[in-house]
Structure 1
């Protein structure tokens, strides 16, 4: 079970207690992913995530933030995606208040010192270069660009180097003011904690969060018409992503794709096998046994994940931030159980058609026409 309370500021606080655990995760979700960025801001969402860890009024440096949590054996981390960002601390239940103290100081009272901004530029640029040099990461980014083009959904979350080099303190403050507000955030307490304590801690440490959301993300209209993108790179393997535009969880944007790293000489064979499976699924559908196996797999993975307080926090927080309703675990699993063979077969027949296929390859392959032919 879980509960949702709304603080006087309008900030939602979710309590998701769990028996048999001694940990608590405090997780702050913010609707501030890279999809909200404009062209001259590419990467600011991710850069801002880094800057929050430089400290606030009380914990004034990365070291002070780390020592506060590490000294209690806890974990502190964050991420930035397309639709949202998240910041969490996981600690033994007795240190739940410390988790709130550290997170609220970071997020509400960040100072963004100029010297830290300059130092972090280099860190992020090196991170970006590392991903550029990792074909499976780069292939995923290229696939998104192939689908979504010059739209925030098609941009790398990590950002563009020229923006990373130019963003200033005022830019962070303005971006934070536009999106880090009670109506665009959710605080989740998951694990060994009760509702009364969670709400009290939420009010004490996050109740002063103010303002209102000032930006919506740019709507997406049309998928790119190009079917193949090749990136020449000296690699031992060919790295590929092959997929189709699909239904989305939040709006009409989405995709289904298959990734692989294969011997250069077997690239065409791999593409043929993947497209063959897609077309077979579209033509014949799935068997009852396959559908049940998929349901059992998803149910098992989901159930095991809930033993981790951080995963439990993520389950509820993401729903509250992005979806029209928050399901409990039983209702969520019931959605899986309700899926029918007919629904899967109908969707597969609609999606897995040659005209929908999109392919990205990183490696030595340079014959785009041959790649397009392999998808026909």
Structure 2
């Protein structure tokens, strides 16, 4: 539904739950940032919780939601940011009241900004000290290059230390606009009641976004490897390549291939690299999916002395999936795993609100769950073989490493 103000609202009643999730999604991810604003989207996300008109402090926000046993949180991705409150359905109006106050009337008090700098600098340091996190970002920089899609969301220490009240106001004004936000209400609530709550609480003013992101540039990630020498107990490695974006017809084939390679504990990487060779504790293959770019990669934490062996084992699995057709039984298992994960996830009002909101925000259409399941089902063994040859060709592979390694 589109309100008179232009705000898009998604409502869905779920049976079998007593909860309601109210989620605001905004096309305000880190890809909208230029070099000088790196990290402002994520910092702004923190500041929305620091007080507004009706709930003037972070304590007032917490007390309102804690007082009814609800949960609230937020996240900043590369393409959008999200803010949600999840409560027992009789408290849906309170949830909307708190969320709307934050989103529309946040004050960005300079004293609160200064306190939060310390919090975010420590979050920055935590990621630096956690190679398992850091390695994923290193790999995205390698595969996407020096542009917003290749940068991490936490940003630079410089921005965290210097960003001002006025910077937040102008960034919010340019992106947190009526046409660039979606309110998604999912759970134990009738559509009409959900719509009324949104109309009453979210008084967006009909403004339009004034900031666009620069299109993804294909050829910026030309380096093949990124070695970050650091004293660690194990070496963290990511090996992978560019993928196909979410809008591409082969998107689901890439995802099914990712499950076959390293999506679960019976996958090829897990059985070969961990169970048979004993080279690692964690290993997983996943995809990073965006509207105009993507990556597919395998990450593992391996014995410092056996990094060469581990890389060889990972690349061998890539070679096998390029050269041999996936057996029907293995393909069936991967599809059923993916479909099962989606169906189980969507029992949760929060997951459902996110899925529906994301498709509407990024693609202007709501994708039915059955449609997604049908697209997964349509993937053939030949599709996987074809994209494996294309995406995972030896010359396309890139490697990021963090550990006490001097050279690869």
Identify the TM-score tier after normalising by the shorter chain. over 0.9
- Structure 1 residue 10 corresponds to structure 2 residue 6: yes
Q: What residue in structure 2 maps to residue 238 of structure 1?
A: 235
Bigger shift: residues 88-97 or 277-286: 277-286
Of residues 207-216 and 192-201 in structure 1, the stretch that sits farther from structure 2 once superposed is: 207-216
Residue equivalent to 1:247: 244
* Counterpart-to-counterpart distance in 2, 1:297 and 1:269: 29
Q: In 2, distance between residues paired with 1:125 and 1:197?
A: 42
The superposition leaves residues 211-233 of structure 1 with CA deviations (integer Å, 9 ceiling, x where unpaired) of 10111111122241111111011
What secondary structure sits across from 2:198 in the alignment? helix
Instruction: Report the equivalent of 2:221.
Output: 224
Tell me the TM-score normalised to structure 1 length: 0.95
2: distance between equivalents of 1:232 and 1:28? 40
CA contact (8 A) 1:42 1:159 kept: yes
Quick one: distance in 1 between partners of 2:379 and 2:163?
47
Cα deviation digits, residues 303-356 of structure 1 (max 9, x gap): 111111111111111111112421122122111111222222111111111110
Computed over aligned residues only, the root mean square deviation of the Cα atoms, in angstroms, reads: 1.0
Alignment match of 1:192 (pick from 188, 195, 214): 188
User: The residue matched to 1:243 in structure 2 has which SS?
Assistant: strand
User: Which residue in 2 is equivalent to 1:214?
Assistant: 210
* 8 Å CA contact retained: 1:34, 1:82: yes
CA positional deviation for 1:294 = 1.0
In 1, the alpha carbon distance for the partners of 2:186 and 2:211 equals: 29
Write out aligned runs for 1:54-65 (5 A): 54-65=50-61
Aligned match for 2:310, one of 249, 264, 270? 270
CA distance in 2, matches of 1:274, 1:366: 20
2:176, 2:106 → 1: CA distance? 12
The answer to which of 264-273 and 114-123 deviates more is 264-273
Aligned 1:32-43 pairs, distance under 5 A: 32-43=28-39
Aligned with residue 124 of structure 2, among 128, 134, 145: 128
- Say whether 1:296 aligns with 2:336: yes
Tell me whether 138-147 or 337-346 shows the greater mean CA deviation.
Answer: 337-346
For the pair 1:69 / 2:65, whether they are aligned, the reply is yes
Distance 1:158 1:209, change over 3 A: farther
CA distance in 2, matches of 1:252, 1:114: 37
Is 1:321 the counterpart of 2:318? The answer is no
Q: CA deviation at 1:208?
A: 2.7
From 234, 238, 259, the equivalent of 2:299 is: 259
Alpha carbons 1:8, 1:207 under 8 Å: kept: no
Q: How does 1:275-286 map to 2 (within 5 A)?
A: 275-286=315-326
| Deviation readout 1:187-215 (Å, 9 max, x if unpaired) | 00011011101111111111334310111
Q: Is residue 177 of structure 2 the alignment partner of residue 148 of structure 1?
A: no
Worse-matched range after superposition: 245-254 or 131-140 = 245-254
- For residue 6 of structure 1, give the secondary structure of its aligned residue in structure 2: coil
Count matched residues. 364
Question: 3-state DSSP class of the match of 2:370?
Answer: helix
Q: Distance in 1 between matches of 2:292 and 2:320?
A: 25
Partner of 2:275: none
SS in structure 2 opposite 1:53?
A: helix
Farther off after superposition, 82-91 or 251-260? 251-260
Other-structure match for 1:360: 400
- 8 A Cα contact 1:11 1:207, kept in partner: no
Indicate if the aligned counterparts of 2:302 and 2:310 stay in contact, CA closer than 8 A. yes
Counterpart-to-counterpart distance in 1, 2:147 and 2:186: 35
Normalising by structure 2, we get a TM-score of 0.88
Judge conservation of contact 2:31–2:213 (CA < 8 Å) in 1: yes
